[in-house]
Amino acid sequence: MKINKTIREKLEKEGYRIIGSHSAIKVCLWCKNALRDKGVCYKNTFYGIESWRCIQMSCSLLNCTSRCLHCWRDIRYTEAKKVNEPEEPKKIVDGCIKAQKEILQGFKGTSKTNIQRFKEAMNPKHFALSLAGESFFYPLLAELIDEIHKRGMTSFLVSNGQLPEKIKKLEVQPTQFYISLNAPNKKIYQKMCRSLFKDAWERLNKSLEIMPTLNTRKVLRMTLVRDLNMTGHGNYARLIKKAAPDFIEVKGYMSVGFARQRLGYDRMPNYNEVKDFAKKIAALTKTKILDEKIDSRVFLLGKNKENMKIII
């Protein structure tokens, strides 16, 4: 789906920078904070990805499989269709880097900016394909990842797990691959993730079965919403064992952006609730809490701390 003028103007007011006809970046809060020495994101804490050198982007901004209750994005325009007339990966990567550098130029003129980090930010080293949409709807995804890696950059790819055959056939693996696991059973999945596919739960399970065969680092990402999906620990454990991830991220829902229209602040689990959930999952999956980031209410589970950090 191409981004028409009306939607483009609306997204740009929200801080998106549209790249071509179906891609976009948005500089995240943690990137800005890191440039002011006000903290870093949990990807930095857990894996060593420098927040000030990270580009948060999408190659299929309006193409998604789901309309999740907890999504902070405006999901009214999403369609479960592949990107038509896909643009070349080089054009997308060039456009993302150019836009990121342009947006961050304003930080150069303030005394609150860490100048060394600003200089490094002008040479970004990481792409997070996680901004919005389902990246597997972009037909040239493997070529895009390859283009990123050719430039000496790393890539984190996030998926809803609704296109298992495309996951299986991805010829170039990202540095780290995520699948979102936000429900212990079909009923809760349908209620929370609101997939546009009737067989969404079956698709997710197929993707989890494929996950162990992928030749890259694998992570399951769990977003917890109070009184919705913080139940069924045993079912979660069975799904996790099926996927055999290297790490599990257990994170509390944040009522921000458009998610506030669907789930209020009362649905945000507190630190202790998220930690208690993480401890139960760790016990059931024979993993342990390796790290945490308190202000993001997120815990990292895994077997051991070896190879947590990614060397760029």
- The token pair that represents 63 in the structure block: 């193409």
Residue 308 domain-assigned?
no
Q: Could you tell me the mean pLDDT of each successive run of 10 residues in the chain, 312 residues long?
A: 77 88 93 95 95 96 82 73 90 97 91 95 96 93 98 96 96 97 96 90 98 96 95 98 97 73 82 97 97 95 89 64
The pLDDT, as a whole number, for residue 310 is 84
Half-sphere exposure of 112 toward its Cβ, with a 13 Å CA cutoff?
7
- How many domains is the chain partitioned into structurally? 1
Check: CB of residue 114 under 8 Å from CB of residue 51.
no
- Tell me which residue of 244, 248, 98, 96 sits closest to 180, measured CA to CA: 248
Domain limits at 109? 5-302
Would you say residue 310 lies in a domain? no
Q: Please report the pLDDT score of residue 312 as a whole number.
A: 61
What whole-number distance in Å separates Cα of residue 128 and Cα of residue 146? 14
Amino acid of residue 109: G
Q: For residue 138, is it within any domain? A: yes
Number of other residues whose CB lies within 10 A of the CB of residue 90 = 13
98 domain residue, yes or no:
yes
Q: What is the CATH number of the domain that holds 122?
A: 3.20.20.70
